[in-house]
Structure 1
Amino acid sequence: MVPGLAALIDGAGVVQIFWRIILPMTRPALAALGALAFTWTFNDLLWSITVLRTGTVMPVTPALLGLQGQYVSDWNVIAAGSVIAAVPTVAVFLRFQKHFISGLAIGAIK
């Protein structure tokens, strides 16, 4: 079956079929992709170490790496920084959680 064929027969245009049929069906996949893309970009360690050399503009993950010394490390400070660095990623997941659950429910019902 072609999605939107009934809507096309009823007189809906291509844009209306996209906004009312196709986009709601792909919303869970787009939410998952958006959350994963944000997480990958936010936690990108290698690129920021390669490009940025000054500590004043360093993102969170390379700054946490800089806290670890060669011989001595303050693990309590590194652990606290890791928890703080995880907050935006958890917030994005909680924001898109409704879409994840709806995607699971759509695939489970026949």
Structure 2
Amino acid sequence: MAGDDLAGHWWQVDLGREQSLTGIRVKFYQEGNFLYVIQTSVNGMDWNVASNQTGQTLTDQIRTDRFNAGARYVRIVYNGLPKGLSAGHYSFEVYGN
């Protein structure tokens, strides 16, 4: 969990090699309208938006985003946070073929 309630924090995972991805499942540390973008990269430097959840109004603790991408790296960027809450999640699962 981030140490403050400011947007812009991110977390990423290295899958070890390029994979064919079909989506993610994230469990936030509590319910709230977390606004975020899921990005993917083959090299860890050049990023593509796989799912943009910045404009949604969901407050579910568990969210699933489906997309198709070839990538080695996946990250979540927190673009907006519920009032008084910090960026953070309990689990982050990446799905693929």
Which category of TM-score, normalised to the shorter sequence, fits these structures?
under 0.3
Q: Which has the larger radius of gyration?
A: 1
Kindly indicate which of the two structures has a greater share of residues assigned to strand: 2
Q: State TM-score, norm by structure 1.
A: 0.22
Tell me: higher relative CO, structure 1 or 2? Use CA pairs within 8 A at least 6 residues apart.
2
Kindly indicate which of the two structures has a greater share of residues assigned to helix: 1
Q: State TM-score, norm by structure 2.
A: 0.23
